[in-house]
Structure formats: structure tokens, C-alpha cells
Amino acid sequence: MGQFLAKVSLLREQKKVTEQYLVDAVSCTDAETLVYNELSVSEELKVVSVSESNYDNVVCNDEAETFFAAKVSYITENEITGTEKRENANVLIQSDSFGNAYNTLLEQYKNSMADYVIKSVSETKILGYIKQD
């Protein structure tokens, strides 16, 4: 399964709007089908684009409505050369505030064996996470 970012055009309160959703699916076609099944609230619904997302992990909190993107760098050291290597991971966090998103991220990584640095946390335009049942 992969994570896909779907941009959707639809009518909300008599206005045409474009919204973004993250979709957990096996392919772009599957993601598009899931979006139509989940959001079939309007006859004007149109999936504008579906592309692979760069999120490595998604942390959901169904009580929150806002999604935050976090960039985390894992720090490893080559034992032979002694050089430091950093590998980035992108995490999507559903939270009600920036502070709670940051704390959720800390909680996710508190038992990590690897050293890490939280490089950034920022609010996204993603309005929902659509998963297969």
C-alpha cells in the first residue's frame, strides 16, 4: 500500500473549491476510486489529480481536523569511517494544534533506537485521510 495525494474539485455552499486528501491505496486508480466512494456528496465532484505522496508515516487522531507535515532526520554513524549520515522521513500528523502535533511526534519517537532531529513541523492543506476499510 502507498500514500497518494488527491486534489479534488467540488461544490461547497454553492462555491467551487479545490481540496486535498491523503489516500491509502495500492495505486493511483485505486486512490481515485476511494475518493469518489468516500466523497460522493456532490454531483460536481471531480478528481483533478492523484500523485504519490512523500509521506513515510501517518499518525491519525480522528478527533482532530488539522493535518501537520513533519520532517524528521535520523542520524546514523558509519562505524568504520566515523562519518555522520542523515536520512529524512516525512510524517503526516492529524492534530488539533501545532503543539499537540509536535508532542505526538515526540511520543512516536521516544522509544526509537536511532538518534533523530525534528527538522520542521508545519500545517498542511490536507483536509482528510481516506483509508481502505
- Give residue-wise pLDDT tens across range 85-96: 889 999 999 999
| Confidence (pLDDT) at 42 | 62
Query: How far from 132 is each of 3, 25, 37, 68, 94, CA to CA, in Å?
Result: 11, 7, 10, 21, 18
Average confidence score pLDDT of the chain: 91
Judged by DSSP in three states, 29 sits in helix
| Confidence (pLDDT) at 70 | 97
- Give residue-wise pLDDT tens across range 42-54: 667 899 999 999 9
- Give residue-wise pLDDT tens across range 22-69: 999 999 999 999 999 988 766 678 999 999 999 999 999 989 999 999
Residue 34 zone, left/alpha/beta (φ > 0; ψ -120 to 50; rest): alpha
**Grid cell 521516544 — which residue?**
110
Q: Which domains can be identified in the chain, with CATH numbers?
A: 1-53 (3.10.20.10), 54-124 (no CATH)
| Confidence (pLDDT) at 73 | 93
Identify the helix (H) or strand (E) that includes residue 108.
Answer: helix 98-109
**pTM across the whole model:** 0.87
Tell me the C-alpha distance between 63 and 19, whole Å.
20
| Confidence (pLDDT) at 41 | 67
Given a cut of 90, whether residue 122 has pLDDT beyond it is yes
